[in-house]
Amino acid sequence: MRLSNSILRQSRVLPSKLYAQRTFSTSPQWLQRTLPVFEESSSPELHNLLQLAREKIIPIAALNMDQKKYLFSPRNKTTLESDPLYIEFANDEAVQLGYTNPLTDLPGKFRLFNEATDLATTKEDWQNVSRLLKGIAQGERLQAKLQERYIRLGIQAGHPSIVLGTVEAVEGSKVSLKVGENLLYLLEGLRKYGFWSAEDPEEASAWLVGAYTRVITMMEHRKHCGAKNIAKDDLRRQPWVLAPLVEILGLRLKAGWDSAEKSAFGLYAARLVDMLDVEAIENASSLPDIDLSIPKNRAVAKRLLLRWEPVYSALELIQEFQPQGVQLESVPLSRLIESLSTNLDRTLARSKEVASRTVERDPPASWLSPEVVRWTRYTTLGRNISDAEMPTTAARDSVLGFSE
């Protein structure tokens, strides 16, 4: 197929000899496209990967189908060697494009991103990964599994602030809290990071309050959940979304770190109690009769634990403090706490039973089980526990190991 100059000119991707002095991008869509500028990477492998994205993956993704066919056709190889195409981006950077074999020269975007996250080790690396994500996201939707991977691994690597910044910049990053399990993994990742990462529990818990508040605020953005009419299944109405903030505010009060937060605890506790549908929560927190030796079913159990453990913990704290303004008489709180405790313990027991038979490698230091979270919470708050009460390494490995 021979791509005519009129088609090239129309799309602003131009042969160098004929149009080298022309402005290549004039449409509103093109004016928004930029090439990411990467900082120095910690390894040559990551540097080469980012350059490949900058010089080929992102520019070629901006072409239309006819232009890609022209670039990919072996018949045009000789022509493109002497007369390459150029594409100019909104940040006044131009990229030269020659013949490209899509099978050997262009790795898939998900594979490219996976390799980048595997190679990233430093803060600067993860900033580069965020820039890569935004570059890939221009003009197309990101796969849910790619977004989830970024959130999980970014926080696990110790850079939750970078992840939060990327999620806040949803207009450019396309990482939305209403996609897949993004919100669940973000909340649980922050919870784990705050409980485990800092030497100063008081400082860590204060940071968690700020992080959770940022998440609740950003959910009002139209690209996240911010529709004016809040439907029944809107994420902003789900108790497991607000519960982590109520939990950490209550834990700080319990530790005597900041009595001034009592009003905030009461405010968010009242909102949480208003969301409660006892029967619906009892059903949602009960693990169905499924075979947990199947990976996708173990993922169901994992999500159940991640969602409902913070709710259980938050409700216990509400019952203990009984803050003013909370209509406790409107909800059978004791019954709900008991039901959640029973359902979570059953799920944990079934998961541990399967994990003890199937785990064959060291588990990743990632998501905490309720058992480990409870132990961490006790030590965070200064409660003295005996060696007998502390979970054994085997018990923790068993629980953590069943996560996919």
How confident is the model at residue 354, as a pLDDT? 76
Positions in the chain short of pLDDT 70: 1-32, 139, 197-199, 258-261, 355-404
Give the pLDDT score at 64.
84
- Predicted confidence at residue 211, as pLDDT, reads 94
Question: How much is the pLDDT for 5?
Answer: 33
Cβ contacts of 356 within 8 Å, gap of 6 or more: 398
pLDDT at residue 324 in the model: 85
Rounded Cα distance, 83 and 99, in Å: 10
- What pLDDT score was predicted for residue 182? 93
List Cβ neighbours of 135 (8 Å cut-off, separation of 6 or more). 34, 35, 36, 53, 54, 58
Identify the pLDDT of residue 312: 93
Note the pLDDT of residue 168: 94
Tell me the domain boundaries of the chain.
1-140, 152-237, 251-404
Residue 43, pLDDT score: 95
Query: Would you state the pLDDT for residue 226?
Result: 77
CA atoms within 13 A on the CB side of 181: 15
pLDDT in the model for residue 32 = 66
- The per-residue pLDDT for range 145-166, each reduced to its tens digit, is 999 999 999 998 999 999 999 9
Query: Which pLDDT does position 356 carry in this prediction?
Result: 57
Q: Could you tell me if 195 and 160 are in contact, meaning their C-beta atoms sit under 8 angstroms apart?
A: no
